[in-house]
Each structure stands twice: as structure tokens, then as C-alpha cells.
Structure 1
Amino acid sequence: MKDTSKFPSPVYQETVLQPIFNTFKAEYYRDMMAVNYAHLVMLTEQGILKNEEGRLIAAALKEIEGEIDPESLEYTGEYEDLFFYVEKQLIKKIGVEIAGKLHTGRSRNDLNITLFKMKTKEYLRGLLHELLSLQSTLLELAEENKEAIVVAYTHGQPAQPTTFGHYLGALIEILLRDFRRLVSAYGTADQCSMGAAAITTSGFPLNRERMAELLGFARPQENSYGCIAAVDYLLEVYSAVKTLFINLGRFAQDLGFWTAFEVGQLYVPNEFVQISSIMPQKRNPVAVEHIRVQASLIVGLCDGVVNSLHNTPFTDMNDGEDPLQAVAYEALERGVRCLRLIAGFTGGLKVQEERVGRNIAESFVTITELADSLVRAEGVSFRTAHEVCSHLVRQLLSQGGTLDKLAFEDFRLAFEEVTGRQPTISEAQLNTFLDPKNFVQVRRVFGGPSPEALSASLGRYRNELQAQKEELAGLEGRITLAAAKLQEAVSQVLKG
């Protein structure tokens, strides 16, 4: 008969503790040792540990670091988790009376939450770096295509001419906002939980500000209950990540549509084209499909994180800990790969001008500017001008004609029929009004596609991108500085 009186049961070890142990040794060992050192420094500086006790613990931790290869560790069931494994090695070296003092004023609760936040921030900085790289690629591509005309679609149908640069500018704006959303979420995760202990802090005179500083956090999270119970840092991070990849998934939809044979606005270089195994004529832009499915998988993973926290108690609970964190990190890892793929793919795209010209002629998309120009040149109302243009479109469609082949006489007759008088514009003016380049050039309004308006927009995007790069560098610099401070502080402890 099985002994059911002792924790943990074999099935709990196999299904819960062993996977957590393996995750901790891969993801958290380095950060866990950093927290050990920081806590040791703080306890010593606060006089909670005597200098000699601090020196002995620091020296023993250094020895353990040199002896342990976390990758080679195997879960045996002897220790519940990696924390207890390291603590046991420390006790073996200097005895429980001194080694046991390292855990003064802390709990696995505040330790684990802090580790989760440190790892979340690390992955998030990697994602932000790739996002900035993608934005740089898109800005360069937009600059190169400020005057490269494409057809803009609404409701899946050709709508108006714009430029590829103008289209990319819309995406760049979104990604600039996505960066701000992610940095805001980073700021929520950038509040240290150490010192909250189990949930109510401690009677020992802990210095929570010092712990935050040594571990590279912006500040300690204030309310100790919230340090342990609040999971809004996860909700905020993965809602922002989800938003980013929904935005990029919509872009991928356009890439698939615009590179399709029937539309053909964009040419995909051969390095991103897979040839059919049976149909030699096929050029399959498979990268688009991988971008789309990766974006969808990331959105699904983010939903999994957020939804798993629904209706959980507002207290310490395992629902927001290791198993969920592993899913969360996968979303960020996939996100990094997806951003790299998008940057590599989009960097080689080319506008197929001849195909775009044919699409414009066949879809009549410059007719809006003819209506606008008639308002200005002929002094008629927009509704009257719209009726003239509608008449022309119906006539051309019935004849199987295209807008670039519109005869001035047909225009003259349509104008006279609607307005009761002859037009004053010339044939040359008519052709200018129907020219897609003119369509773009006259749209000089703030945010429009004209070369002047777009250049101004891209300049603003570039300035904001530079500011974002500096902001990320500041976040990364604080981590580097904290590591140096911690190393120096440990050296001081070792001197006794």
C-alpha cells in the first residue's frame, strides 16, 4: 500500500515539481543567484547580518556558483525545488546557523515574483529591440518609396492611389504606439517585489529600495500585499504584446493580398519565394504565411496568459507562476522571431510600377480627384462633380474601357449633360486631373501622401524612433549598472 502521508506524491513530483525544477534551472538560476547576493548585501548593510556572517555566506555562494552547472542538474525528488537545492548546498558548506540567515526577511513568494518580473523584463527588452529594428527597416523602405504609387484598398476593393511610403507610414505610426504600450507595461513589471516576504513584509528593518536598485528595478512596488497578489504586470504586458501582433497580423494579410498574382502590387525577391514541387510557374511567398501564423500563435498565447488569470483569487497563488510564465515567455520568444522575419521580408519588397499602373487604369481609382478638381476648376458643387464622374465610370464600364483611355469628347458630353453647359478645362488639364501622380501630389494636408507631407511625417517618425532607441538604451543601461553595483557591493561584503 502506498504511503500517502508525505508530500510530495510521486505523480505530483512527475507532473509539477520536475517540470518546474527544469524550467527554473534553465530560466532563473542566474537571476536567483543575483537575488541571493542582493539580499545578502542588503542584510549586511542593514546590520541584520554581522559582517563576518555576510562574508562567509558570500564566499560560500561564490563557491557554489563555481561548482554548479545548472544544465547538468537532474531532479531527483530530494529537494522540492531549485531554491532548496541551492540552500542545502550553502548549509553543507557553512552550517545551518549561518547559511539559514540568508533567508531572513524573505519568502519564496517575493523571491519568485521578483524572478518572474526580472525574466519578463529581459524577454521584453529583446522584443523591444527587434521592434525598433523593424521600425528602422520600415522607415528606410518608406523613404525609398515616398513616390512609389500603389492602390489603396477599402472593403477589399480598389479605392484611391497613394504611395507605398504613405502606407508604410501608417504601419510605422502604429508600431511607435505599440512601443509606447510595451514600455508602459514594462514600467509596471519594473517594480520590485523583494521585501514583501510572504505578503506583509517583515519585522526586520529591510531596505527595499536598495534591493530594487541592486536588481535593476526602477523602484520597489509599494504595497506588500499587491507585490505578491497583483498580476496586472502580466495582464498589461501580454495585452500590449497581443495588440502588437494583431496589428502585424493585419499587415501580413495585406502582404498576402498585395503579392497575389491577381493584384501584384509588390514583388517578392526570390530568397523569400518557394517554388512548387509540381507547378514550375508558381512563386509562393511563403514567408507571408509564416508571419501570419506566427502572429496568430502569439496572439493565442497572450490570450492564454490573460484568460488563465481570470477569476483567480487576489492573493498568492500558483496560477500566475511557473507554468503560466513558460507560456508567456514562449509568446515573447516567438515574437522576437516573427519581428525578425517581417523585417527581413519587407526589406526586399519592390513596387511593380507597371502592374500598379494597369490596376489604376482598370479600377478608375483616380476619379475622386477628377471630381475634386472639377469643384475647384469649374466652380460646381462636389455633388454635381460626383454625378459627372459617376456618369463617366458607368459609360466606360459598359464599353469595357479604362480611365486612362477616356476621350475628352466623352468627358465634355457628360459634363454638359449634368450641368447644362460646356466645361472650361482643357484636355491637358483633364489628363492631369486623372494622373495618379497628381492625385498624390495635391494631397498636401497634414498626414497626407504628397512628397512634402509624407517627408515631414517620416521626419517626425524618425525623431520619435530615435527617442525610443534612447529610452530602451536607458532601460538596458540600468540593468548593466545594477549588475556592476551588485558586484561591487558583494566585493565589499567579501572583505568583511
Structure 2
Amino acid sequence: MKLWGGRFAKNTDKLVEDFHSSISFDQRLYRHDIAGSIAHARMLGETGIIEPAEAEAIITGLKELLAEIEAGKIKFAVDAEDIHMNIETLLTTKIGPAGKKLHTARSRNDQVALDTRLFLKDEIRRTQELLLNLLDVLVKLADKHKTTIMPGYTHLQLAQPITLGHHLLAYAEMFRRDFERLEDCYKRTDVMPLGSGALAGTTFPLNRQMVAEELGFAKVSENSMDSVSDRDYLIEFLAAASLIMMHLSRFCEEIILWASQEFAFVDIDDAYSTGSSIMPQKKNPDVAELIRGKTGRVYGNLMSLLTVMKGLPMTYNKDMQEDKEALFDSIDTVQKCLLTFTPMLESIVFRQEKMYEAAKKGFSNATDLADYLVRKGLSFRDAHHVVGSLVRYCISQGKALEDLSLEEFRKGCLVIQEDSCLFIQDDVYEALKLENVVGRRQTYGGTAPEQVAQAVERMETYIEERKKKLEE
């Protein structure tokens, strides 16, 4: 008989039983369900709602059940519907009538809210650890390549030379914000809902604070209806997960481009590449491509749960059972992607010579020529016009800016100044050297090697502080 079957004269249809059941996926909440039940039982005994001996029997039985589940000795039943009723049924079979008292003063509505919050808190911390591991790798690579020159792009067109270290630290900033978004999400997840009952609270004199303290929650929920009816903490996590995947996908897109023969900036380790079934020469960046592709499923999970929740009346509705598969899949996807991407990145070989040669093309030092003319007294708008005409001239002659003679530079200057342009001297060639172009970007947060070194130090401190905090 169903635990809730007293009202019903007929058995549930077999098709409905299968359709209705969630044990196939929510069984992964068993640790959190048992932890919540132990805390609830202890509180029931302490407050005298049930006999202390009964509470102890329940706690002992739950601990035994946990050990049996972990040992693979328990098979969950579809007809018990979900993890909550499976645990309660197994407990009652194990310890007898006392097991039936466990559900006193609680509902599956506040129970599932508790379980998902406990579960998500653990997974947020795990995801943060993986992000810190990735940040570690990025910072080490940035420090190693703080003087490695490569082309920077806008519109995927060569724009200005930068350092590879600076480029890598751009992603470090993205993943730092992802870490901090999870920190914010954790605060809103760290709220204990048990005691809210089905929606209106309970008539029993619960000590909700005691349960919160045992389970490690920062606070208890303020409104029983809100506690059981919203899943915004899950949606917030899925949004943060989507942003993590977006940043991973952007990084993977660049790695895929850089690994192509046309760029040839990187060599992806064989351990993170695959071949072709027909073309023997192929080395495909499948790991990066898969991460890029898996981004879509995490976006889809976010949209799925937003759509589930958008029209629900207060309070709990069965639609909300759809939250778990979206949550579980996103957690698994994000964590697997981080676990795979981090060692792939760490093992990549950056072809510094190729990057340097690419940075010399496309007139990436043109802005610095304009800045040189400004320092010699021209307005920036006039300097921009002069350099544009010189670039056009170089294209027609098959030359780079640094290949021009002083006479050619001065002739180009005459397009805006009819008198002599003798202020263009030999120092123009020093101004156009890529090392100097990069080295002059000394503004805070710029690409100059000194600025990259300082940014590395700041990020190292940040990572160390966050690691210590997670260990507390």
C-alpha cells in the first residue's frame, strides 16, 4: 500500500506509476535525504514530539541504511515513487513502527527542498574547487608567457600585438567572476526550509534552528509558502553554470582556431585529440569541440527550468519534479568539462615563433605609429589619417610599416601637412618594434609584461585566499 494510499480506493495504474516515479534519477539524493532525516529525527526526540528512544532507533536505522546503500545492498523500488518514500519504507521495514514516526511534522514538499539545497551546496563547492584548479593552470601559463608576443584580434581581424600571458589572464578574469557568481548563489542556497510543511508550517513545536545548525545552514527560511514553491536557487545555479560553459566554449573556439593549420599557434596533446576513420593525417580537437557543443545542453536546462516555473501558482506543483534532471545534468556536464579542459589546457604546446610571426603581419603596430606622430605634435585624428594613407601605400608596395624609409614616412605625412615632416626621425623604427609596442602598454590591466606579472601576483593571492576559505 502507498504511504499516502488511505484516501484511494484503487491502485495506481502501472503506466502512471512509471510516469510518476522519480526514483530513477532522484536516488542520487540519498545521502542528503538521510542526513536531513537524521537531523529531523534528532530534533523530534529533543523537543519531545516523539520519544527519545524512538528518535535514536530512527537515527541508528538511517545510518545503517546509508551504509547498506553505499555498499550496493539496496535496490530502490519504483512503486515507492521517490527517494524520500523509498528511505522511509526501507527504514520502517528495518526498525518497525518507529519508522512511521519519522515523517511527523514534515512534508515531501519541504523535504525535497531541503535535499536539493543540501545537494547543491556540496556541488557548488565542488565546482568552485574545479574553477580554482583551472585558474591555477591559467596563472602558471600566464606567468610563463608574460613576454610571449601574439596577435590580438577584433572582429577576428588582426588588431594589435599583445602578450599570450595577457590573453590567458582575460579568461582567468572570466572564470574568477564565475567563481564569485557561485559564491553568491551559495548564499541564497544556504537556507534551511525544513519545518515549512506542505505549505503552511506545522502545528508541532519544531526547533528549526537546531536542524539548521546540525545540517550546516546559515539561516532558516522566513516564509513556508516560498520555501516549498520556488526553485530560484536552482535557476540561479543553472544561470551561473551557463556562463561557465559560455566562457569554456569561447576558450575552446579559440583553441580550435589556433590548432588549425591556418593559425598553427598551438599543438594539442595527443591525449586530448582524436583521429579520423578515413583520413590518416587528421588530428582533431574533439575535446574542445565537445565542450563547445555541450554548452547548448546547459543552456537548454536553464531554459527548461525557467519554463517549468514561469506559470506555476502557489505553492508546490508536480511540475517541479522536472527540476532535478536539469540540475543533475548541468552539474555533471559543467564538472566533466572543467575536469577535462583543465589538463588539456595545461598540456597544450604554444608555438611562440608562429604567434610572433603572425603578430608582425596586418600592420598591428599601426596604432603605435599614430601615437608616435601624436607625441611629435600632430592631433590624433590627423595622425590616424596619415597612418591610414601609409598603410594603403604599404599594401600597394607589399611592405610592412617598419620597412618604409624615412623619406616614405615623411612623404606620407605630407597628406595633412604641406610643410616639412622632418620630425619623423630614426626613432620611429624603435617605436614600431613589437616588443616596444607591447611594452608601452603600461596602464593598469594592460598587456605590458610588467603589468601581466603584477596581474599574475594578484591572481595568485586571490586563488590562495579562496582555497583557504573553501577548506574552512
Provide the C-alpha distance between the structure 2 equivalents of 1:399 and 1:355, rounded to a whole number of angstroms: 24
Q: Structure 1 residue 209: deviation in Å?
A: 1.1
Contact kept in structure 1, 2:26 and 2:324, CA below 8 Å: no
What secondary structure sits across from 2:204 in the alignment? coil
The Cα of 1:252 is off from its aligned counterpart by 1.9
Once the two structures are TM-superposed, the CA of residue 114 in structure 1 deviates from its matched residue by 0.7
Q: Which residue of 1 aligns with 2:366?
A: 367
Shift of 1:94: 5.0
Counterpart of 2:446 in structure 1 is: 448
The answer (yes or no) to whether the contact 1:234–1:306 under 8 Å persists in 2 is: no
Partner of 1:391: 389
TM-aligned CA distance change 1:120 to 1:282, over 3 Å: same
Point out where structure 1 has 5 or more consecutive residues left out of the alignment: 475-496
Q: C-alpha distance in 1, partners of 2:64/2:259?
A: 59
Bigger CA drift: 111-120 or 60-69? 60-69
* Structure 1 residues 84 and 70: CA distance shift in structure 2, 3 A: farther
Following TM superposition, by how much is the alpha carbon of 1:257 offset from its aligned partner in structure 2, in angstroms? 2.3
Deviation at 1:134, TM superposition (A): 0.7
Aligned-partner Cα distance in 2 for 1:277–1:148:
36
Q: Residue 239 of structure 1 contacts residue 302 of structure 1 at CA under 8 Å; is this kept in 2?
A: yes
Higher relative contact order (CA 8 A, sep 6+): 1
Matches within 5 A, 1:91-490: 91-92=92-93, 95-96=96-97, 98-321=98-321, 323-376=322-375, 378-419=376-417, 420-427=419-426, 429-474=427-472
Counterpart residue number, 1:57? 58
CA distance in 1, matches of 2:316, 2:412: 75
1:43 aligns with 2:52: no
Q: Relative to structure 1, is the Cα distance of residues 71 and 312 closer, same or farther in structure 2, using a 3 angstrom cutoff? A: farther
Q: CA deviation at 1:56?
A: 3.4
Alpha-carbon spacing, 1:291–1:22, altered in 2? closer, same or farther (3 Å): closer
Give the distance between the partners of 1:417 and 1:404, measured in 2 at CA: 19
**Cα pair 1:362 1:403 within 8 Å, conserved:** no
Q: How much has 1:228 moved relative to structure 2?
A: 0.5
Cα distance in 2 for partners of 1:279, 1:103 equals 62
Distance apart, 1:349 and its partner CA: 2.9
Q: Look up the match of 1:15.
A: 19
Residues 282 and 403 of structure 1, relative CA distance in 2, 3 Å threshold: farther
Amino acid at match of 1:21: I
Aligned length: 463
Deviation at 1:208, TM superposition (A): 0.8
Which whole-Å CA distance do the structure 2 matches of 1:95 and 1:286 have between them?
A: 54
**Residue 152 of structure 2: SS of its match in structure 1?**
strand
Alpha-carbon distance change, 174 to 5 in structure 1, aligned in 2, over 3 angstroms: same
Q: Which residue of 1 aligns with 2:4?
A: none
Measured against aligned partners, the alpha-carbon deviations of 1:300-333 in whole angstroms (never above 9, x if no partner) come to 2232233322222231112223x32122111111
Contact 2:212/2:218, CA 8 A, preserved across alignment: yes
1:72 CA displacement: 4.1
Determine if contact 2:225/2:314 at 8 Å carries over to the other structure.
Answer: no
Query: Runs of 5+ in structure 2 lacking a partner?
Result: 1-7
Instruction: Name the amino acid aligned to 1:200.
Output: A
Distance 2:179 2:237 in 1: 11
Deviations 1:30-87 (A, max 9, x none): 222222211111112222223333333334444555666666415263x444433443
Checking the alignment, whether the CA contact within 8 Å between 2:386 and 2:412 is kept in structure 1 is yes
Q: Answer with 30-39 or 154-163: which moved more.
A: 30-39
Greater shift in the superposed pair: 61-70 or 398-407: 61-70
* 1:67–1:374 Cα change, 3 Å: closer
The one-character-per-residue Cα deviations of 1:122-146 (angstroms, maximum 9, x if unpaired) are: 2222221111111111111111111
Q: Structure 1 vs Structure 2: percent identity of aligned residues? A: 32
- Report SS of the residue matched to 1:284: coil
TM-score of the two chains, using structure 1 as the length reference: 0.87
Contact 1:298-1:334 at 8 Å conserved across structures: yes
Cα distance in 2 for residues equivalent to 1:326 and 1:372: 56
- 8 A contact 1:29–1:70 mirrored in 2: no
RMSD of aligned C-alpha atoms?
A: 2.3
Q: 1:187 to 1:269 in 2, by over 3 A?
A: same
Deviates more, 1:163-172 or 1:283-292: 283-292
How far apart are the structure 2 equivalents of 1:118 and 1:248?
A: 27
Q: CA deviation at 1:351?
A: 3.4
2:77 corresponds in structure 1 to 75
Change (3 A) 1:283 1:54: closer
CA contact (8 A) 1:91 1:99 kept: yes
Question: Cα–Cα, structure 1 residues 266 and 423, in superposed 2: closer, same or farther, change >3 Å?
Answer: farther
Worse-matched range after superposition: 263-272 or 160-169: 263-272
TM-score, normalization: structure 2? 0.91
Aligned AA for 1:23? Answer: F
